[in-house]
Amino acid sequence: MGLTLTEKILKAHLVDGEFKKGEEIGIKIDQTLTQDATGTMAYLEFEAIGIPRVKTERSVAYIDHNTLQSGFENADDHRFIGSIAKKHGIYFSRPGNGICHQVHLERFGIPGKTLIGSDSHTPTGGGIGMVAIGAGGLDVAVAMGGGAYYITYPKIVKINLEGKLSPWVAAKDVILEVLSRMSVKGGVGKVIEYCGEGVKTLSVPERATITNMGAELGATTSIFPSDEITKEFLKAQKREDVWVPLCADEDAVYDEEININLSKITPMAACPHMPDNVKTLSEIGKMKIDQVCIGSCTNSSLQDMMKVAHILKGKTVNPDVSLSIAPGSKQVLNMLAQNGALSVMIDAGARILESACGPCIGMGQSPNSKGISLRTFNRNFEGRSGTKDAGVYLVSPEVAAASAISGYLTDPRDLGDMPEFKMPEEFIINDNMIVLPADEKDMESVEILRGPNIKPFPKTEPLNDKIECKCSLKVEDNITTDHIMPAGAKILPLRSNIPAISNHCFTVCDEEFPKRAKEMGSSIIVGGANYGQGSSREHAALAPLYLGVKAVVTKSFARIHRANLVNAGILPLSFKNEADYNNIDLNDELTIENLKECINEGKNIIITNRTKGIEIECECELSERARKIILAGGLLSYTKEQM
């Protein structure tokens, strides 16, 4: 029986477990990446593990999220990360060099290699045939130290692409189509593999847009084959030597198959407030807009920017619209500067932003009250833009640019003939914003520069046999990590300070939660389905840990967040019977007993609701390794125990 591409790469990296569907497998990690908003914590954890030099083939620390430096905190974090990278063998991508996923694809990604990153959009690397997975900072720290990364052997979904996209229809529309079919929880436990003739019609940046936004499906990752198009891209990056051809075996067996005819796709938008709330532009109809933001790790490649420049050429941004553009990397920005496209954008009235995440994570450019904002980004969760009542629509760069001119949601197909956008034969290569680590012999002398806002990892303790506490919060389905641990310009500078950031935990849902949880001392949270979807931020587990949360009981979890809860030593419990969601309310008194026995023997766990006088059965599916982590009180304690 043949293997899928994902299986081939996973098998070649297997270091622990049985290579069987549904089993937990440990894979060797070749490369890691971190960004600054999750990086400080990841490097504090790496320090705590105590390994002097990274054991990966390549580890890169990017600065791209917290670039709005309205106080000393972010700059201190950048300096800390720069110094720790230098000491421990990590490449350091300085602020200004670009968004981690865009730069990693350009300069470091290698087909057939494994990559984990402390950012949920790490699957961007699947665009060149890597198995690239988003993970919590602690998992990345362990992988930097040479430890395996553990996943459940995924189900593999084949998306068979036929035909070719029509003019003005974009890769963004392809992933929006996939989202509308599979939903934001349809990818949990799965890897999405793109196959078929249509693959050959898509460039590397287009493939990367699609794998990037596979994160919004909840998928473990997404991957394209490595073919002649991948080779040309790497050649233009002067990295042809790392190319290898890779594809699935002809007789590979998939768990699911989906057919998509590219020629039938039309321009679409994900409507507020979920990436799977997808409608065609004609379904949405005429809609006046206030803002357009172009950029983010999903759509900030040179190809995207050239299409935008073409549409803006000789025009003026509509007087009622604010247009911002953030090219994804220094390479992209520099090429736009050299070929004149940047001048076209400036001339049209675009507000050019630095090559960073920016508005995507609420770092500036929050829309006006009740504003309608079209964004080429990947997430439109309520409030993420920084304006709670704004309506954010996720669209392609083509739709975004055309609408910025007209002032209304506009179908770019109305623009007439689309010129051909060719990939350059050579990108401008200048890695002068990547600082190399110190040589091994000089490591000792590198001083780690710590700012006053950088506080240690919160204390954990081994699992108690009995939990007796109240329910401190009850939330509904599809709670995102942006609800649990909001981002934005005001809160992001506290990412290195868990005691301070925990005061903002869940405040989007309930202003009183941090105070209440602290007063309760220990507590349990109740959630709905797909709890913790979205980002990889382990702060969404570390802040509850700091606030005394012992267990989270839900209908179901998103993958990375569940792993982060286990890593933090918080019990992830699922209602055996979903209807029991209705049997726990805020402030109910709850007891769980015999925990150690239940965890050790894989038995279901009974929550006694003393307020209502009922018993609720919960499942706690944990691998052998996850059980040990929970019993030890989290991955950090477990890793130290192992050493």
| 370-401 exposure pattern, b = at least 16 Cβ within 10 A, e = fewer | ebbbbbbbbbbbbbbbbbeebbbbbbbbbbbb
Residue type, 137: G
The piece of 4-12, 39-47, 355-363, 578-586 that touches ligand SF4 (CB under 6 A) is 355-363
Q: Does 104 engage in binding with ligand SF4 (CB under 6 A)?
A: no
Q: Does 479 engage in binding with ligand SF4 (CB under 6 A)?
A: no
Q: How far is the CB of 110 from ligand MIC (least distance, A)?
A: 22
Q: Does 564 engage in binding with ligand SF4 (CB under 6 A)?
A: no
Q: Does 398 engage in binding with ligand SF4 (CB under 6 A)?
A: no
Q: Does 121 engage in binding with ligand SF4 (CB under 6 A)?
A: yes
Hey, which bits of 118-251 come out as E strands?
A: 131-134, 149-152, 155-162, 190-195, 221-223
Judged by beta carbon, residue 387 or residue 523, the one nearer ligand MIC is 387
Q: How far is the CB of 351 from ligand SF4 (least distance, A)?
A: 17
Which candidate, 551, 547, 545, places its Cα nearest to that of 527?
551
> Cα(50)–Cα(255) distance, rounded to whole angstroms?
41
Q: How far is the CB of 356 from ligand SF4 (least distance, A)?
A: 8
Q: How far is the CB of 378 from ligand MIC (least distance, A)?
A: 7
Q: Does 172 engage in binding with ligand SF4 (CB under 6 A)?
A: no
User: Which does residue 99 bind out of ligand SF4, ligand MIC, none, counting CB within 5 to 8 angstroms by kind?
Assistant: ligand SF4
Q: Does 202 engage in binding with ligand SF4 (CB under 6 A)?
A: no
Structural contact between residues 329 and 97, judged by C-beta atoms closer than 8 angstroms: yes
Residue 412 has, within 13 A of its CA and on its CB side, a CA count of 27
Q: Does 360 engage in binding with ligand SF4 (CB under 6 A)?
A: yes
Type and span of the H or E element at 437: none
Q: Does 333 engage in binding with ligand SF4 (CB under 6 A)?
A: no
Judge if the upstream peptide bond of residue 104 is cis by omega within 30 degrees of 0.
no
Structural contact between residues 378 and 297, judged by C-beta atoms closer than 8 angstroms: yes
List 27, 342, 357, 390, residue binding ligand SF4 (CB under 6 A): 357
Judged by beta carbon, residue 114 or residue 296, the one nearer ligand MIC is 296
Bridge partners for 188 per DSSP: 219
CA 145 to chain centre: 22
The piece of 356-364, 405-413, 510-518, 588-596 that touches ligand SF4 (CB under 6 A) is 356-364
Judged by beta carbon, residue 68 or residue 360, the one nearer ligand SF4 is 360
Q: How far is the CB of 305 from ligand MIC (least distance, A)?
A: 20
User: Which does residue 537 bind out of ligand MIC, ligand SF4, none, counting CB within 5 to 8 angstroms by kind?
Assistant: ligand MIC
> Cα(407)–Cα(326) distance, rounded to whole angstroms?
20
Residues 6+ apart with CB under 8 A from 133: 114, 115, 116, 117, 122, 123, 149, 151, 220, 221
Q: Does 184 engage in binding with ligand SF4 (CB under 6 A)?
A: no
Q: Which residues are catalytic?
A: 64-65, 119, 379, 535, 537
Judged by beta carbon, residue 122 or residue 410, the one nearer ligand SF4 is 122
Structural contact between residues 514 and 502, judged by C-beta atoms closer than 8 angstroms: yes
User: Which does residue 536 bind out of ligand MIC, ligand SF4, none, counting CB within 5 to 8 angstroms by kind?
Assistant: ligand MIC
Q: How far is the CB of 60 from ligand MIC (least distance, A)?
A: 15
Bridge partners for 156 per DSSP: 191
Judged by beta carbon, residue 121 or residue 207, the one nearer ligand MIC is 121
List 269, 361, 433, 479, residue binding ligand SF4 (CB under 6 A): 361
**What is each CA distance from 166 to 394, 395, 454, 493, in whole angstroms?**
20, 16, 51, 43
CA 327 to chain centre: 19
User: Which does residue 38 bind out of ligand MIC, ligand SF4, none, counting CB within 5 to 8 angstroms by kind?
Assistant: ligand MIC
Q: Does 216 engage in binding with ligand SF4 (CB under 6 A)?
A: no
List 297, 308, 336, 498, residue binding ligand SF4 (CB under 6 A): 297
Judged by beta carbon, residue 13 or residue 65, the one nearer ligand SF4 is 65
Q: How far is the CB of 113 from ligand MIC (least distance, A)?
A: 20
**What is each CA distance from 59 to 48, 50, 65, 90, 212, in whole angstroms?**
18, 17, 18, 5, 20
Q: How far is the CB of 64 from ligand SF4 (least distance, A)?
A: 6
* Token output for 372: 């309608």
* Token output for 511: 């202003």
Q: Does 496 engage in binding with ligand SF4 (CB under 6 A)?
A: no
Residue ranges in contact with ligand MIC by CB under 6 A: 37-38, 65, 119-121, 134, 361, 487, 534-537
Q: How far is the CB of 34 from ligand MIC (least distance, A)?
A: 10
Q: Does 296 engage in binding with ligand SF4 (CB under 6 A)?
A: yes
Judged by beta carbon, residue 558 or residue 592, the one nearer ligand MIC is 558
Q: Does 622 engage in binding with ligand SF4 (CB under 6 A)?
A: no
List 222, 378, 385, 496, residue binding ligand SF4 (CB under 6 A): 378
Phi, psi for 172 (deg, rounded to 5): -60, -40
Any idea what DSSP says for residue 354?
-
> Cα(205)–Cα(397) distance, rounded to whole angstroms?
13
Judged by beta carbon, residue 99 or residue 571, the one nearer ligand SF4 is 99
User: Which does residue 219 bind out of ligand MIC, ligand SF4, none, counting CB within 5 to 8 angstroms by kind?
Assistant: none
Write the Ramachandran bin of 218: left for phi over 0, alpha for psi from -120 to 50, otherwise beta.
Answer: left
Structural contact between residues 300 and 206, judged by C-beta atoms closer than 8 angstroms: no
> Cα(484)–Cα(96) distance, rounded to whole angstroms?
29
> Cα(347)–Cα(288) distance, rounded to whole angstroms?
23
Q: Does 68 engage in binding with ligand SF4 (CB under 6 A)?
A: no
DSSP, collapsed to helix, strand or coil, labels residue 31 as strand
Judged by beta carbon, residue 378 or residue 523, the one nearer ligand MIC is 378
Judged by beta carbon, residue 213 or residue 551, the one nearer ligand MIC is 213
Q: How far is the CB of 150 from ligand MIC (least distance, A)?
A: 18
Residues 6+ apart with CB under 8 A from 445: 438
User: Which does residue 270 bind out of ligand MIC, ligand SF4, none, counting CB within 5 to 8 angstroms by kind?
Assistant: none
Judged by beta carbon, residue 65 or residue 550, the one nearer ligand SF4 is 65
Residue 157 has, within 13 A of its CA and on its CB side, a CA count of 22
Q: Does 25 engage in binding with ligand SF4 (CB under 6 A)?
A: no
Hey, which bits of 28-65 come out as E strands?
A: 31-34, 58-62
With vertex at residue 28, the alpha carbon angle to CA 50 and CA 120, rounded to the nearest 5 degrees, is 85
**Which stretches of the chain bind ligand SF4, using CB under 6 A?**
65, 99, 119, 121, 296-297, 357, 360-361, 377-378
